[in-house]
Amino acid sequence: MTKEYIYPYLEHSFLLQYIAKCKANEIIIGNELMVQLDMLLEHFENNAIRIDFKDAQKRIKFIETQCKHFEAPFAGKPFLLDLFQKAFIEAIYIFKVYDEEIEQWIRLYQDVLYLVARKNGKTPLISAIALAEFFCGEIGTRILCSSNDYEQADLMFQAIDSMREESRTLEKVTRSNIKGIFFGNPKNKKKTGKFSLKNKGHIKKISAKTGAKEGKNIRVGAVDEVHELKDNTSIMPIRQALSTQNDPLYIELTTEGIINDGYLDERLREARKVLNGELERPRWLIWMYTQDSEQEVWQDEKSWAKSNPGLGVIKKRSFLQKMIEEAKTSKTMRVFVLSKDFNIKQNNATAWLSTDIIVNEDEFDIEEFRNAFGIGAVDLSKTGDLASARIMLMRAGDPKKYMIRKYFIPESKLANLPKEDKQKFEQWIREDRIEVSPGNENDFRLVTAWFVKIFQTYGIRIYKIGYDKWSAIYWAKDMEDYGFDLVRVSQDFSLSEPMKLVESDLKSKLINYGNDPIDKWCLENTALNFNSKMDIMPIKVQGQDHKKIDGAVTMIIAYKVYIDNRSEFTQLVGR
């Protein structure tokens, strides 16, 4: 790129200023973003591309003068854009190409991928761009905010609406309700013009779970937390809805994730092919803040800016330092921090626990707990998976949890086990660790019989039994007829707190599971699933359904019941 081409634009181009600082190493970025910036530089000497700053300047001015932050610690303050944010907005808007079909100059980039680590202001930035497009774009502009779930889609929508409410100027000419944001304010009626009821533009929200049914004829689509999408089924209706527009804008914003072969994985594979010159996507702006290696995360604190452009301004360095220190000692935290704070792909093949945490050769005699109180947990499977029943026991003044358990499997499933697992299962059946149900289904009456037997033999009274609602309706009624108190425990992110406590207690050797080999096997097989709030839940490793995790699940369910009823249960234990 020659200076002669840059010089006319340098003085008033945030993009060129940003690139210059990146090239001079004043701003540290990763190689993938540098490749994209080099591509943008080439546009300045491409005669087929017109450089026009008007749209970008209009939107930057709108954001900085009309939009205000709505969350602490910046609530009520003007939305003053950092240089990297202004450069990003310019990259979207300043490059124009002539469209022969409609005989107009339109934006070169109509498809945008924005990948940045969490807490770098990605949702507020894209929300501000969407609001700017609503006001600065053409009349009738319709905008759709989307994400994997309704709550996440609502975060972007609420960010837009809060910025609108913070500005008296914007609020005077708009209105909002549960359906969306619209032009025309009944309290300040305008009969004609862009800001009147005649402007049918709007901003709405949908989630992947609603099927994107409202995504018809929109001009701007923004999809948040793309990493949570398993496929493109919720994306395609939105992209299709943009197809009628002359100058549409589609933005995907996200951090990295842990879903294997999800939608984001495929998009990133394509994006990297584009950056490597292996695939041609001239209308796609790929703006990715990524590390060049995992090693540099641990060895060079300065490199953190590669995935965290807002470090020190938006995101506190002390926060990231704290996350790194926790990640050094916690596998769970390590997976989360690398994916969410440094955009380094993690996957759900990552084991939850390391072997040294799981191994515990302690044993105990159940006779020690005669007439004690316990907490029960079950993970029932009608057919394919192992079924697990568990009782967690405690002593007064002893923080340890002691586990007894029983496993169940249908007879027909034994023949279909992999050879290595079949030998183990046959051994466990001989040792009476697993009870076999005749036929093709688990007989849940055997589960009931096991709890009854524990009470009749040892006098162990079950305080409450946690169970998942699936496949358990008739079993639950049977158990209640015997006088057991059952509590529904959903196998979702509500298991996050108990799962973390199980991990901590295993590390501290505060769980004695009697050195049971099936418990150990299930713990080894368990992988992690995360959401954007850093909640976790247990899952199987993708593609390894024969690796059972039921024993780990019942351990976590027992902890869930314990946490929810800790005070009352410990009083019973202390009697």
Residues 412 and 264 in one domain: no
pLDDT digits (tens, 9 = 90+) for 163-198: 999 888 999 999 999 899 999 887 777 767 888 888
- Per the prediction, the chain carries an average pLDDT of 90
Residues 311 and 442 in one domain: no
300 near 493, Cβ under 8 Å?
Answer: no
pLDDT digits (tens, 9 = 90+) for 470-513: 657 789 999 999 999 999 999 999 999 999 999 999 999 999 99
CATH of the domain at 38: 3.40.50.300
Residue 212: per-residue pLDDT: 47
* Count of all residues that appear for the chain in the document: 575
Which positions ≥6 away from 23 have C-beta within 8 Å? none
- Its sign, for the CA torsion 230, 264, 204, 80, is positive
SS3 of residue 509 by DSSP: coil
pTM of the model: 0.81
Residues 169 and 261 in one domain: yes
Residue 347 lies in a domain: no
Mean local confidence (pLDDT), 305-329: 95
Mean local confidence (pLDDT), 310-328: 94
- Tell me: pLDDT of 103 over 70: yes
Structural domains in the chain (count): 2
Which positions ≥6 away from 43 have C-beta within 8 Å? 49, 51, 95, 108
Omega prior to 438 cis, within 30 of 0 = no
Residue 158 lies in a domain: yes
Residues 101 and 155 in one domain: yes
Residue 334 lies in a domain: no
Give Cα separations from 28 to 32, 125, 320, 343, 519 (angstroms).
12, 20, 17, 15, 47
260 vs 288: CA distance, rounded Å: 20
Residues 404 and 302 in one domain: no
67 vs 80: CA distance, rounded Å: 9
Residues 408 and 490 in one domain: yes
Residue 335 lies in a domain: no
For 305: left if phi > 0, alpha if psi spans -120 to 50, otherwise beta; the answer is: alpha
Residues 411 and 502 in one domain: yes
54 near 37, Cβ under 8 Å?
Answer: no
521, HSE (Cβ side, Cα atoms, 13 Å): 16
Residues 432 and 322 in one domain: no
Residue 342 lies in a domain: no
Residue 340 lies in a domain: no
Burial classification of residue 410, based on how many CB atoms lie within 10 Å of its CB (0-12 exposed, 13-18 middle, 19 or more buried)? buried
Range of the domain at 243: 3-326
Residues 262 and 392 in one domain: no
Residue 215: per-residue pLDDT: 47
pLDDT digits (tens, 9 = 90+) for 519-530: 999 999 999 887
Residue 208: per-residue pLDDT: 61
Residue 345 lies in a domain: no
The domain boundary, picked from 326, 345, 367, lies at 326
CATH of the domain at 515: 3.30.420.240
Residues 319 and 409 in one domain: no
Residue 338 lies in a domain: no
pLDDT digits (tens, 9 = 90+) for 446-469: 999 999 999 999 999 999 999 987
Query: What is the number of other CB atoms lying within 10 angstroms of the CB of residue 99?
Result: 13
Residues 372 and 320 in one domain: no
Residues 322 and 359 in one domain: no
pLDDT digits (tens, 9 = 90+) for 530-567: 776 778 899 987 677 778 999 999 999 999 999 999 99
